[in-house]
Amino acid sequence: MSNERRGGSRRESGDGQQPRRPARSGGQSGNRSGGQAGKQGGRQGGNFRGGSSAKSRAQANAPRRRPAQSSEPARDVHVEDGVRLQKVLAQAGLGSRRASEELIANGRVEVDGQLVTELGVRVDPATAVIHVDGLRIQLDQAKVTIALNKPLGVVSTMDDPKGRPTVADLIRNREERLFHVGRLDADSEGLLLLTNDGELANRLSHPKYQIAKTYLVTVEGEVYPRIGRELLKGVELDDGVAKMDAVHVLQQIDGFAMLEVVLHEGRNRIVRRMFEAVGHPVTRLVRTRIGPIPLGDLKAGRTRVLGRTELGTLMNAVDL
What is the CATH number that goes with domain 83-133? 3.10.290.10
Q: Which fold has domain 13-63+142-320?
A: Pseudouridine synthase (3.30.2350)
Q: Which residues pair with 304 in a beta bridge?
A: 147
Q: Where are the domains of the chain?
A: 13-63+142-320, 83-133
Count of CB atoms situated within 10 Å of the CB of 272: 17
User: Quick one: which of 112, 141, 113 has its CA closest to 127?
Assistant: 112
Give pLDDT, residue 38: 39
Distance (Å, whole) CA 46 – CA 229: 11
Give pLDDT, residue 196: 94
Give pLDDT, residue 294: 96
In this structure, are residues 145 and 194 in contact, taking their beta carbons and an 8 Å threshold?
yes
- The DSSP code sequence of 181-244 is ES---TT-EEEEEEES-HHHHHHHH-GGG---EEEEEEEES---HHHHHHHHH-EEETTEEE--
Give pLDDT, residue 44: 52
**Host H or E run for residue 101:** helix 97-105
Residues of the chain with pLDDT under 70: 1-74
Task: Report in angstroms the alpha-carbon separations of 194 from 131, 153, 236.
Answer: 23, 18, 32
Residue 140 falls in the annotated catalytic set: no
Among residues 133, 160, 185, 187, the one annotated as catalytic is: 185
CA triplet 122, 124, 129: central angle to 5 degrees?
A: 100
In this structure, are residues 98 and 249 in contact, taking their beta carbons and an 8 Å threshold?
no
